[in-house]
Structure formats: C-alpha cells, structure tokens
Amino acid sequence: MASSQSDSPPLFDLPVRPDFTLEAGIMRDGLAPVAGLDEAGRGPLAGPVVAAAVVLDPDRIPNGLDDSKRLTAEAREALVQEIFSASIAVSVASVCASSIDESNILRASLEAMRRALDGLCVQPAYALADGRDIPPGLPCPCRAVVKGDQRSQSIAAASIVAKVMRDRMMVRTGMLMPHYGFHSHVGYATERHREAITAYGPVTRLHRMSFSPFKTPEDGIAAPAEEAAEFFAT
C-alpha cells in the first residue's frame, strides 16, 4: 500500500472553504483532468463504505462545496444535484461489510476509491485523494491530501457525493428493516442502533462482524441473525 509523505498543514493554514488551487496547479503542469476522491462510512457498525470520484468542470464549480461533515443534510442534497449536473464526470463505488471484515476498513476504503476512479467515464490524468494514503492500483498519478475535503473543491465534491449516496442506501435499508432504525442513524453506533442489535442480533452481510461489539475475545465473532439486505450481498 503506497503512502504519501505527510501533507498535513497547520490548522491556521486551512482555507475557510476548499478552493481549486491544488487542481489549478496540477492542470498548469499539463495534467488534466483532475479527479477528487473521498469516501464515507468508515466508522459505522453496519453497511458499506462508499467512495466517489468527481471531475469538476473548472468553469461550472458549484457554490458552497465543503467537507460533507460541515454541511447540513439539506445542503448536501442540494449540492449533490449540482455536482451531478455540472461536473465533467462522477462515479460512485462501494465495498460491502463482508469485504470490510475480510480485509480491514482502511483497505476497503482505498479499494472503494480505486473502483470509483475506474468507473469514471473520462480518464483522469491526476487524482487527489482525501487522507494520508494513496489507493493502490490507480491508473494515474495521485496525491494524498490530509484534510483534503477542506482544501480541495474536487475532494469536497467527492465527499458530498459519497455521503449522500451512502445515506440513501442506508435509508433504503431502514425501509426494509424498520426495527433497526437505519433510516435515522445510517449504521452508526447510536444508542438506538445498539439496542436493536441487542434485541434482534446483527444482520448477515450488513453488520460489520469484525467491529466491536460483535467481535469478542471469548468466541471471536458473534453469530449473526439470518436476515440480510440483498443489495449489500456482493
């Protein structure tokens, strides 16, 4: 797994909002288009990790792009429509809970970003990935950018797309399994979610069995319930 050199700026050097400075510099060097990569869902107990790749049109960058965590759900929903309509290319990919258990969440996150980049309808000449690690197997050069969703508009756009798409998947899961409350917590370890796990057990291929509280020192991994969301089966 390739890792970048430390790219963490002092906090006071972070822009108030992400801008297009990194992308513009890369493009001046003759590398275009530039794709932003980010993921959502590293921390939840259930569901996939979802990544997005976005190639912004420099002449049609949506206003208000920011780290998805700093935006309201309503703002994310509005922006994701603009991102899809105004961008040169957008791609989304995911890695399911079972695959997360077979590797680990970091590898799964990087694999989701690789898949997202591969799914673009245009071939990027360069990629900017949020975080400290470069996804292995990319078809183009890549720079890992610490706090990239607060520095690069391309990464911020990818963070918004990944977050919205994952939330929609989990809301759909909540419609199929209302007793788990996925529509409200989207898989995170809220009190309601933990209470539902205690009452009904974890869901096969949906809950991450390598995560606490499922994995125990005594018996390894807890026995899952015989219920699964079919769209998380692969």
Q: Could you tell me if 42 and 105 are in contact, meaning their C-beta atoms sit under 8 angstroms apart? A: yes
Domain end marker among 171, 194, 214:
171
Do 209 and 143 have their domain in common?
no
Question: What is the total count of domains within the chain?
Answer: 2
Domain that residue 125 falls in: 15-171
Question: For 88-119, how does the pLDDT look when each residue is reduced to its tens digit (9 = 90+)?
Answer: 999 999 999 999 999 999 999 999 999 999 99
The reply to whether 161 and 182 lie within a common domain is: no
109 and 45 part of one domain? yes
Query: Which residue intervals of the chain are DSSP H helices?
Result: 21-28, 73-86, 97-102, 105-118, 153-176, 182-185, 191-200
What's the pLDDT at 14?
Answer: 62
Residue 199 C-beta-side C-alpha neighbours within 13 Å: 9
Domain assignment present for residue 3? The answer is no
Residue written as token pair 């997005």: 52
149-198 pLDDT tens trace: 999 999 999 999 999 999 999 999 999 999 999 999 999 999 999 999 99
Beta-carbon neighbour count of residue 136 at 10 Å? 13
Q: What are the pLDDT digits (tens) for 15-54? A: 689 999 999 999 999 999 999 999 999 999 999 999 999 9
The pTM (predicted TM-score) of the whole model is 0.87
Of 121, 150, 171, which residue constitutes the final position of a domain? 171
Q: State percent of the chain over pLDDT 90.
A: 83
Mean local confidence (pLDDT), 66-92: 97
Last residue of a domain, one of 130, 153, 171: 171
